[in-house]
A and B are shown apart, each in its own frame.
Chain A
Amino acid sequence: MGVRRLRAAFAKRKEEGRRCLIVYLCAGDPSLDITAAAVKELAAAGADIIELGVPFSDPVADGPVIQAASQRALVSGTNLVKILDLVKDLRAQVQVPLVLMSYYNPLLQYGPERLTDDLNAAGGDGLIIPDLPWEESAPIRAELDKKGLAAIPLVAPNTTKERLTKIASAASGFIYCVSLTGVTGAREGLPPGIKEYLESVRAATELPLAVGFGISTSNQARLLAPLCDGIIVGSAVVRTLHEEGLEAAVRLVQNLRQEL
């Protein structure tokens, strides 16, 4: 399904005049069983797309919350093979698109062709790789395209127009718009200049725009909604799940859903 399943998720919300809510979970934090339960409950609570983070030892684009979650997941013995098994199990139970977000090295060691074969067979829909810029991504993009899976790139507020054009032309699924120049983690308010930034991305692509990094509150979601097609909430969900449990995470997602 891949790209088609993602396209359908955005189209459905658009018809309703609403926005997609994309939730990030660190797979295996604290165990894959809990991740499986969280995916099901959060999808039922209104998450339209779930990103499953593949834990990595050196997550340089992430702030302290996801960094710590990755450590816990690694300690619990999580790896890509087990996450692909989880995707397969979940695909039989949930309809939402499931996208893997991973640093490049674990994917590279697994092998791009084998990975996209196995992700496709498991019913996963795409890949987000925060440390793989457009210039280095051609081999894995080719494999994703072959299988109809989404190659979801990240763009940042300081991405030049030339780069935006190149990145957008090679993207599929949606564009992940990093809201600010910084790492992941909840912040107050909205970054200055975000409207102009998102307008410039909009001018470069027909694909849906999803905004992530630093978004944690319903208020932020409400302010951002008119500017984009979806918002991505990561650290706030990961922290709530870790500190307060699944019920609290469900409430957070329900509250965010209402704003979108």
Chain B
Amino acid sequence: MSLPDDRGYFGAYGGRFVPETLMPALEELEQAYQEARHDDTFRRDLDYYLEHYAGRPTPLYYAANLTKYLGGARIYFKREDLNHTGSHKLNNVLGQALLARRMGKQRLIAETGAGQHGVATATVAALLGIECEIYMGAEDTRRQALNVFRMELLGARVNPVAGGSATLKDAINEALRDWVSNVSTTYYLLGSVVGPHPYPMMVRDFQSVIGREVRQQILAAAGRMPDHLIACVGGGSNAIGLFYPFIDDQEVKMWGAEAAGLGLNTMQHAASLTAGRPGVLQGAYSYLLQNEDGQVQVAYSVSAGLDHPAVGPEHSYLKDSGRVNYSGITDREALEAFQLLSQTEGIIPALESAHAVALAVKMAPQLPRDEVMVVNLSGRGDKDVQQVAAILQGRGADYGCS
């Protein structure tokens, strides 16, 4: 099984739904990527930066305290939070920025929700000496002010986007408009497995380093394959990075945690797979939060990085095929897991990752003690500490949560 097909489809999902101006750019990108992935120099460069700059391989950590506390399956964390810049985002950014350099592009643009992708992009732009411009929802610049400062410190220009819901969805729209206008000089560095082909494939390939390392590490640590893989799913890049190298291992069960926000029965959530239906947004056919007229609904989550109405097309395919089980984790559950992991293991997770931790907290006690679970800790929680402090101290409304 090799997906996507040559039109960029994962089963029924994916494709290219973009203005004509971008079609030549996507064809150029696909060709450049196909050449780069088979080029030893490109792969050597990427491996070098992943090891010496990002800090890979990241550890696989056995969470003995949490395992004991929950009393069920053995829980391991894949420590993507220990990457340089604090999340899995750097894996993809290094790959794409090296590709942009190879293509001779002078300018990088990117969108960001929580700021993790923006910080990673600004970081690599500084490293490679490429001009960088970041689009970020105005609401997110407020929720993640420190990350805005980081990006600026790294030499990037941050453009707050006030249109629509002023979050990630609108930042992506604005980045697409920039790209349409400056397509000959500019590389659009997409941050997740979303968008038109070849992005979902390319980002997946760059993030698959996570799962490849886990395969080796879990055999060394537990002497066996994992029974369960768990990751949070917004756009879905850290999840696909963990899952993809295990897709053909049918004995490995996979679980995706979506943001259920204030609850799936409210309109305040970001669970496109569990509560949406297929449609076209931002270049791809995939599960989407929309009303009956096909207008896109504003997503909500306590976590800015999961706050998106669409999901990568490969996840839509994996949902329909039943290979991955997706379920919703509420803000409350994520916040509880955020505190629990901090207190049992001394690891403060990103709010995004706290959704995966929360699913593990629900599942582990129901499972036999000899089962092994790997949870992707996609990012660290430094960026979220102020927001969580405000919520726990009752000032959550300042941050868009109740």
Contact = CB atoms under 8 A, between A and B. Distances in A.
B21 A158 contact: yes
Interface in B19-37: 19-21, 23-25
Given A63-B177, A108-B280, A131-B280, A58 B19 contact: no
A178 B180 CA distance: 12
Contacts of A103: 280
Nearest to A79: B293
B138 to A, nearest CB: 15
B24 A108 contact: no
Contacts of A60: 18-19, 173, 176-177, 180, 282
B216 interface: no
Interface in A100-136: 103-110, 130-133, 135-136
Contact of A110 (B7, B170, B280, B294): B294
Nearest to A61: B19
A153 B16 CA distance: 15
A197 B179 CA distance: 20
A81 to B, nearest CB: 8
Given A154-B19, A154-B20, A158-B24, A105 B180 contact: no
Interface in B286-310: 288, 290, 292-296
Nearest to B175: A60
Nearest to A67: B163
B16 A178 contact: no
B184 interface: yes
A131 B293 contact: no
Given A71-B164, A103-B280, A109-B292, 17 more contacts: A56-B294, A80-B293, A104-B280, A105-B279, A105-B281, A105-B296, A106-B293, A109-B279, A133-B18, A133-B20, A133-B23, A155-B20, A157-B21, A167-B20, A178-B21, A182-B180, A183-B180
Given A105-B294, A136-B16, A181-B183, A160 B279 contact: no
B15 interface: yes
B292 A163 contact: no
A37 to B, nearest CB: 24
B181 interface: yes
Interface of B: 7, 15-21, 23-25, 163-164, 169-170, 173, 176-177, 180-184, 279-283, 288, 290, 292-296
Interface of A: 56-61, 63-64, 67, 71, 74, 79-80, 103-110, 130-133, 135-136, 153-160, 163, 167, 178, 181-183
Contacts of A136: 15-17
Contacts of A58: 164, 169-170, 173, 281-282, 296
Nearest to A182: B181
What DSSP secondary structure best describes chain B's contact surface? mixed
A183 B178 CA distance: 9
Contact of A159 (B24, B173, B182): B24
A156 B292 contact: no
A183 B182 CA distance: 10
Contacts, number: 107
Given A74-B295, A183-B180, A105 B290 contact: yes
Contacts of B294: 56, 105-110
Interface centre among B16, B23, B282, B288 (most CB of A within 10 A): B23
Contacts of A153: 20
B23 A163 contact: yes
Contacts of B288: 105
B181 A109 contact: no
A103 B17 CA distance: 10
A15 to B, nearest CB: 31
A59 B279 CA distance: 15
Contacts of B16: 133, 135-136
Nearest to B197: A135
A181 B164 contact: no
B339 to A, nearest CB: 36
A109 B177 contact: no
A216 to B, nearest CB: 17
A195 to B, nearest CB: 19
Contacts of A132: 17
A-B CB proximity, top 8 nearest? A109-B294, A106-B294, A182-B181, A156-B21, A105-B294, A79-B293, A61-B19, A57-B296
Given A74-B295, A106-B293, A183-B177, A57 B20 contact: no
A128 to B, nearest CB: 11
B295 A159 contact: no
Given A63-B177, A163-B24, A178-B20, A57 B280 contact: no
